[in-house]
């Protein structure tokens, strides 16, 4: 049973470029959340997708956008990249449930470096 998978594992971009990161949730999970983790910091919530719609959003600018597909996989897009966007981008998935705070299952992340 595959866990959460993310691609690519590493990526190098330059300022002003655009990037797309991909995530496949754990089998049976329908909710996908994205987090940004700067070096030495805690993960910061970007947004969450459920039923192909953005359900929650953190304090991130509109340059950060996403999408969820019918198979529950998700993409994170970042436009007009800034040096400060350099971070580990984590995808997390969880079970469909009425119980709050189902454990979040994280992928290994995509390490994005902006030059």
Given the rule CB under 8 A, which residues bind another protein? 4, 31, 33, 41-45, 48, 50, 55-56, 58, 88, 90, 92, 94, 98-109, 111
Which one, 16 or 96, has the nearer CB to another protein?
Answer: 96
Provide the minimum distance between the beta carbon of 52 and another protein in the complex, in angstroms, as a whole number.
15
Give the nearest distance from C-beta 80 to another protein in angstroms: 25
Nearer of residues 24 and 48 to another protein, judged by Cβ: 48
Task: Please choose, from the candidates 1, 13, 2, 27, the residue with its C-alpha nearest in 3D space to the C-alpha of residue 110.
Answer: 13
Is 53 buried (19+), middle (13-18) or exposed (0-12) by CB count in 10 A?
exposed
Q: Least distance (Å) from another protein to the CB of residue 82? A: 22
| Whether 54 contacts 64, CB under 8 Å | no
The Cα 78–Cα 2 span in angstroms is 26
Per-residue burial over 105-115, b if 16 or more Cβ lie within 10 Å, else e, is ebbebbbbebe
Between 14 and 28, whose beta carbon lies closer to another protein?
28
Closest distance of CB 59 from another protein, Å: 10
């Amino acid at each position: 049973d595959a866990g959460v998978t993310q691609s690519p594992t590493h990526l190098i971009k330059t300022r002003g470029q655009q990037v797309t990161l991909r995530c496949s949730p754990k089998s049976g999970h329908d909710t996908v959340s994205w987090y940004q983790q700067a070096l030495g910091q805690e993960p910061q919530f970007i947004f969450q997708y459920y039923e192909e719609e953005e359900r929650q959003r953190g304090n991130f600018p509109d340059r950060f956008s996403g999408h969820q597909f019918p198979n529950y996989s998700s993409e994170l897009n970042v436009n007009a990249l800034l040096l400060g966007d350099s971070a580990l981008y984590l995808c997390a998935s969880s079970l469909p449930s009425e119980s709050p705070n189902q454990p979040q299952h994280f992928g290994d992340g995509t390490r994005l470096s902006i030059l």
